[in-house]
Amino acid sequence: MYWSTKNNLYGIENLSLIPGSVGAAPIQNIGAYGCELKDTFQKLEAINLVTKEKVIFNKSDCDFGYRDSVFKNQLKNQFIITKVYLQLMKIKHLNINYKELKEKITNDKINSQEIREIIIDIRNRKLPNPKNIGNAGSFFKNPIIKKNQLKILIKKYPKIPYFAGEIIKIPAAWLIEKLNWKGYRNEKCGIYENHALIIINHNHSTGEDIQNLAKRIKKDVYKEFNILLEEEVSII
């Protein structure tokens, strides 16, 4: 990421500071601030854990979706990804439509390295460092809803934020915060005070503790909004 922006290449700067490895990125189809890995993805190499053979997966083979891929479904736990090929751009091309990002940009001469620095600053302010506070990053996906469902929600909550394009998404963080979960803590875990999507482990909580908290949040959101949240993290 640093190398690409330092060399004035465009395409993945919006993904800066997402924790994890390059090999894991296609599995999740990582994304942030209006950008997803699939936007620049070309192909990957992986090792079949049974046959030990190297296999090439082109973009169409990966069945990318919103924080999803074939490696989270049909091929889950069957391959180790060893190499990822991305196609970046030398010609300036910025993806700055995300509201929080756009508000930080003061001129149209900004480059990919400056975008990266802005995003790192935003993430450092909003998200806990996993080295200091145990967490699994964004725990829930932003739910995809239908137009008629959005109309119903707007009638009750006129200021509800949403992203409307090919699909309509509601920020899961807004739903959770609206129900006063942001900053919640029990004796083991809780919701990060600066971001409602982050479940934190502050006192040696178990996976069961985290899941129980997540279930309570999902139940509340469904009861109030008739929206069933879906986990972004992989639960084994």
For residue range 20-71, list pLDDT tens digits in order: 899 999 999 999 998 999 999 999 999 999 999 999 999 999 999 999 999 9
Distances (CA, A) of 160 to 50, 70, 119, 150, 178: 48, 32, 24, 9, 10
Distances (CA, A) of 87 to 7, 40, 70, 128: 14, 5, 21, 31
Distance CA 162, CA 171 (A): 6
1 has a pLDDT exceeding 80: no
Distances (CA, A) of 155 to 158, 164, 191, 229: 6, 17, 28, 21
Cβ atoms within 10 A of the Cβ of 207, count?
11
Same fold, 2-126 and 134-225: no
Tokens of 134: 């145990």
Left (φ > 0), alpha (ψ -120 to 50) or beta: where does 157 sit? beta
**138 belongs to the catalytic site:** yes
Mean pLDDT of 211-235: 95
pLDDT tens-digit map of 163-211: 887 889 999 999 999 999 999 999 999 999 999 999 999 999 999 999 9
At 57, the amino acid letter reads F
Which CATH number does 134-225 carry?
A: 3.90.78.10
Inter-residue contact 79 to 47 (CB < 8 Å): yes
In the chain, where the domains are located: 2-126, 134-225
Which segments of the chain does DSSP mark as H helices, in order? 2-6, 25-28, 59-62, 99-102, 112-126, 147-156, 172-178, 207-225
Left (φ > 0), alpha (ψ -120 to 50) or beta: where does 124 sit? alpha
Q: Which member of 4, 69, 138, 205 is catalytic?
A: 138
The CA-to-CA distance between both ends of the chain, in Å, stands at 29
Architecture per CATH, domain 2-126, reads as 2-Layer Sandwich (3.30)
**60 belongs to the catalytic site:** no
Distance CA 52, CA 118 (A): 42
Mean pLDDT of 97-123: 87
Q: Residues of the chain with pLDDT > 70: what percent?
A: 100
> Average per-residue pLDDT in the chain?
93
Distance CA 135, CA 55 (A): 33
**177 belongs to the catalytic site:** no
Tokens of 223: 């009861």
Q: Which member of 4, 36, 67, 205 is catalytic?
A: 67
Looking at 33-37, 42-46, 105-109, 156-160, which range is the least confident one?
A: 105-109
Cβ atoms within 10 A of the Cβ of 40, count?
19
108 has a pLDDT exceeding 80: no
The per-residue pLDDT for 96 is 85
Cβ atoms within 10 A of the Cβ of 36, count?
20
Distance CA 9, CA 90 (A): 5
Distance CA 145, CA 138 (A): 19
